[in-house]
Amino acid sequence: MNAILAVAGAEARIALRNRWVAIAVVMMALFAAVLSAASSAPTGALGADRLSVTVASLTSLAVYLVPLVALLMAFDAVAGEVERGTLPLVLTYPVRRGTLILGKFLAHLAILALAIFVGYGIAAAAAFLTDPRAAAGLPALLRLGWTSLLLGATFLGVGYAISAFAGRPGAAAGMAIGLWLVAIVLYDLGLLAAVVADGGGTFTRQVFPWLLIGNPADAFRLYNLAASEATAAAAGLGGAAATIPPGRALAVILLWPVAALALAIALFRRVEP
């Protein structure tokens, strides 16, 4: 445990000095502020409080941004050490490889938590300023906060796995961006196209729900939207969200970080410096 904390402390310092902390926080804050400004139009027609609406918008923001920030922090973790030549020495220390990954994970997760807290905090403050009923949306905001962190944890783990697998930072960066594009952007489009082509057949009823919930980003979105009163405001996957029990989505959100980290550690063990 002491070793994990030691690695985490050093990683946090490095991230602070390399401006990664600032970049992550500013990115989240900027997007949250822009979203708040954009959704400041009167919401009377929806009947929901301002914060609940904001949470719905933040959910669709987080699903893109949190995995991106996580992958950007993680892709260099192993490949960068290989490139700089710092890995052989640390691997001769009496420390398990899993400890090194978990130490980096802890530091990166803390940075992510800070960025999420600042970003969502700004959005919440904006909602409270304009709507006295905003407190009704607080449970939804809290839920969004910790599920965002779990989503980030998943993609940190996936990022380390990519980093260990790719071996070089350039290749790792390319693979990380490619994965983000496929898992976050193209995945839903592909599913949508398949559903349209299927025309309500077996695929749509039997396979599609599993494919949808299997993706951590979709599970995140489904869980938050299903539990939120402002589902209608988010549109898009609202229909699908209604057919999948939120408990199943929650299980996926909880399992993915563990699976991703296990994969990362397994791949890191195979690295020969």
Partner 1 sequence: MPSLTLSRITKRFNATTALDGVTFDVAAGERVALLGHNGAGKSTLMKIILGLIPATSGAITVLGAAPGSHAARAGTAYLPENVAFHSALTGLEQVRLYLRLRGEPVGAAMDLLARVGLAEAATRRIGTYSKGMRQRVGLAQALIGRPRLMVLDEPTSGLDPVSRRDFYAILDDLATQGTAILLSSHALTEVEARTDRIVILSKGKMVANDTLAALRRRAALSIRLQVAARPGAADQVAAALKGGRRNGITVDLLCADDEKLAQLGRVTALGPLVEDIEVIPPSLEDLYTHFSRRDGQ
**Applying CB under 8 A, does 196 fall inside the site for partner 1?**
no
**Residue (12 or 227) nearer to partner 1, CB:** 12
DSSP 8-state secondary structure symbol assigned to residue 201: S
Stretch that binds partner 1, among 26-34, 37-45, 46-54, 87-95 (CB under 8 A): 87-95
- DSSP-assigned letter for residue 245: -
Beta-carbon neighbour count of residue 86 at 10 Å?
12
Residue 73 interacting with partner 1 (CB under 8 A): no
CB 53 within 8 A of CB 39: yes
Q: How far is the CB of 81 from partner 1 (least distance, A)?
A: 8
Of 44 and 272, nearer to partner 1 (C-beta) is 272
- Which listed residue (41, 42, 45, 92) binds partner 1 by CB under 8 A? 92
- From 72, 152, 142, select the one nearest 112 (Cα to Cα): 152
Among 34, 37, 93, 170, binds partner 1 (CB under 8 A): 93
Closest CA to 234 of 114, 63, 65: 63
Among 44, 94, 199, 239, binds partner 1 (CB under 8 A): 94
User: Does 89 engage in binding with partner 1 (CB under 8 A)?
Assistant: yes
Sequential DSSP letters for 54-119: HHHHHHHHHHHHHHHHHHHHHTTTTHHHHHHT-HHHHHTSS--HHHHHHHHHHHHHHHHHHHHHHH
Cα–Cα distance measured from residue 194 to residue 192, given in angstroms and rounded to the nearest whole number: 5
Nearest to 161 by CA among 148, 142, 179: 179
Interface pick for partner 1 out of 9, 47, 190, 247 (rule CB under 8 A)? 9
Instruction: Using CB under 8 A, pick the residue from 3, 26, 211, 255 that binds partner 1.
Output: 3
- Minimum Å distance from CB 66 to partner 1? 25
Q: Which is nearer to partner 1, 76 or 188 (CB)?
A: 76
Identity of the residue, 85 or 200, whose beta carbon is nearer to partner 1 in the bound complex:
85
Is residue 155 within 8 A of residue 260, CB to CB? The reply is yes
17 counts as binding partner 1 under rule CB under 8 A: yes
Residues that bind partner 1 (CB under 8 A): 2-3, 5-7, 9-10, 13-14, 17-18, 84-86, 88-95, 272-273
